[in-house]
Amino acid sequence: MMLNAYRVELDSMGEVNVPITAKWGAQTERSRQNFQIGDQHMPHELIQALAMLKFAAAKANQASGKLAADKAKAIQTAAQAIIAGQHADQFPLVIWQTGSGTQTNMNVNEVIAHLTPLTAEVHPNDHVNMSQSSNDVFPSAIHIAGVLAIENKLLPSLASIIARLQLLEAANHDQLKLGRTHLQDATPMRFSQEISGWRSALEHTAQQLELSLSELRQLPIGGTAVGTGLNASGAYTETVLATLSELTGTPFVADANKFHGLANKDALVFVHGALKALAGNAMKMANDIRWLASGPRAGLGEITIPANEPGSSIMPGKVNPTQCEALTMVAVQVMGNDATIGFAASQGNFELNTFMPVLAYNFVQSINLLADALTSFEQHCLIGLQPNSARMQEFVAQSLMLVTALNQHIGYEKGAQIAKAAYHEGITLKDAALRSGFVTEQQYDTWVNPADMVDN
């Protein structure tokens, strides 16, 4: 794009020089010049959601008789192009701008107006923004972007990794291994049972996300400037919501109290809580896997995972659990985003929250990062995960916690004596048990069988 040649545009504050090839107008250019802060731009998902709202608003305004059919059609056609991902270079604004997102709302309004064949007749404010305020449009767009990203990207990613874990469970049903609690040896278990814990954790967070979406589906659209609905016709909101639901293929409803919808961001806090829970479960799974794969000679070494890249610039042959590291880094980023969202949501003053751009950025980033990282983890780690059967069997055989099987026969205190004697004297559990005189060899062999200890 040529930015050194300009045209003159007018807004309520006067003349502005705008790059001649730009589709945006004066208000976008003012923001582009006044907020050269960082390089974090508005998520494209948010821009598309804003375009969806412009499409729906044009239809509603035409239906109410406020907007001529030719203008409504022109706005909808331009909005559809943005929804399809075209003209992405026409949205240059960073998130560090006005806290209402007004300048990005106007960026979309101006681009749509310039894309229409009726540019001279379609005004960004009077027509594209008709019956709207940034104050109801921008929070509605965050909700729309969030619902669509979770439904279309994150939940499918979760479903795929859950299915992969189910395959691993089935393949490892007969593999016994040592359980661990407090990073100490515990009683035996099936490897499939350990995997089932990871799988169930992800299933729980998928359910939590689906349940939480009911909050995001409530939009404050129609509240306009302060929640009163000034300049929005009576049927406008219903038509916008029906159109959005049809356009996206997923339902959206009205926030029953627009004053709440404009000023409070508790829905984002609530849904991001589920994203944070997912981050925590992903962190736990990735940490378990890198511990189990630690080694190859001085670690646990109970599993092997794919060797994807060289792990060191100085140690030849070293391979690291890089997919685990990437997923855990994403997890802590999401946890940091959760803190930002919590703080930002608490800062509503009177009839508006003015932290919406940073809310949008962090919210959408968390969804995208989790979806991408879980997909990568499945494709480049889980798909090649293999048990080291010999190592698992060795640990089970050496475990002192097999003594737990004796509890119901000789009691906890006598079992503890046997385990401590085996540890301090450096002998096997069986030898310590026989020396204690509490059990016979036949009783020990009957009662202490790891395979009998893994299922109720």
What is the biggest distance separating any 2 CA atoms in the chain, rounded to whole angstroms? Answer: 99
d(CA 343, CA 207) in angstroms, rounded, equals: 26
Q: From residue 126, how far is each of 67, 71, 121, 230, 422 by CA, in Å?
A: 10, 11, 10, 14, 84
Angle at 125 between CA 124 and CA 127, to 5 degrees: 75
> Virtual CA dihedral for 212, 217, 222, 224, nearest 10 degrees?
50
Of 352, 331, 353, which Cα lies nearest the Cα of 342? 353
Q: Is residue 312 among the annotated active site residues?
A: yes
Of 202, 150, 158, which Cα lies nearest the Cα of 373? 158
Residue in 12, 182, 313, 424 annotated catalytic: 182
Q: How far apart are the first and last CA of the chain?
A: 68
Of 141, 83, 105, which Cα lies nearest the Cα of 31? 105
Of 266, 251, 268, 259, which Cα lies nearest the Cα of 136? 259
Single-letter amino acid code for the residue at 309:
E
Residue in 173, 200, 214, 312 annotated catalytic: 312
d(CA 303, CA 295) in angstroms, rounded, equals: 10
Q: Which residues pair with 189 in a beta bridge?
A: 177
d(CA 118, CA 126) in angstroms, rounded, equals: 14
Q: Is residue 41 among the annotated active site residues?
A: no
Catalytic residues: 182, 312
